[in-house]
Amino acid sequence: MKKTFFSFCLLLLIFIICGKSYSQSAVYFCTETGAFGYAYGYGSYDKAMSEAYDACVSYGGTKPQLVTSTYNKGYGAIALGNDENGNRVIGAALGFSTQELAESEAMKNCRKYGGLDVYIHDSFYDY
């Protein structure tokens, strides 16, 4: 009985660790150019961070800044808009329990930073 319980606990721990290993996400944004990059579902936090940074640079970012990152599983969303001067504004949300919550939070964050005519650019599930 003890051996079975120990085996069950060990399997549960492995399952939790494996599930966590693919839940890293990150979003970068360049205020100078309006370029952004994001990554999710990577096996390491550092890899998600570097992939999102590199994506921002590859789309024209000259000084990418971290918008948000997480180790948590869940839904994510990227919202875009323009401020009153026509500059791109971004809002992001990661690790939410539903797509609707992620999208709502991303749009709220975009508006918080001055975004007008905000829309969802992308949403995803980070397993």
Between 2 and 48, residue with greater pLDDT: 48
pLDDT at 43: 80
First vs last C-alpha separation in the chain: 33
* pLDDT tops 80 at residue 72: yes
- What is the average per-residue pLDDT within 77-91? 97
Give a yes or no: residue 27 inside a domain.
Answer: yes
- What is the average per-residue pLDDT within 49-70? 97
Model confidence pTM above 0.85: no
pLDDT at 110: 97
Give a yes or no: residue 114 inside a domain.
Answer: yes
- How far is Cα of residue 56 from the mean position of the Cα atoms in its chain? 13
Number of domains in the chain: 1
Between 16 and 23, residue with greater pLDDT: 23
Give a yes or no: residue 15 inside a domain.
Answer: no
Give a yes or no: residue 12 inside a domain.
Answer: no
Give a yes or no: residue 102 inside a domain.
Answer: yes
Q: What's the domain range around 99? A: 22-126
Give a yes or no: residue 95 inside a domain.
Answer: yes
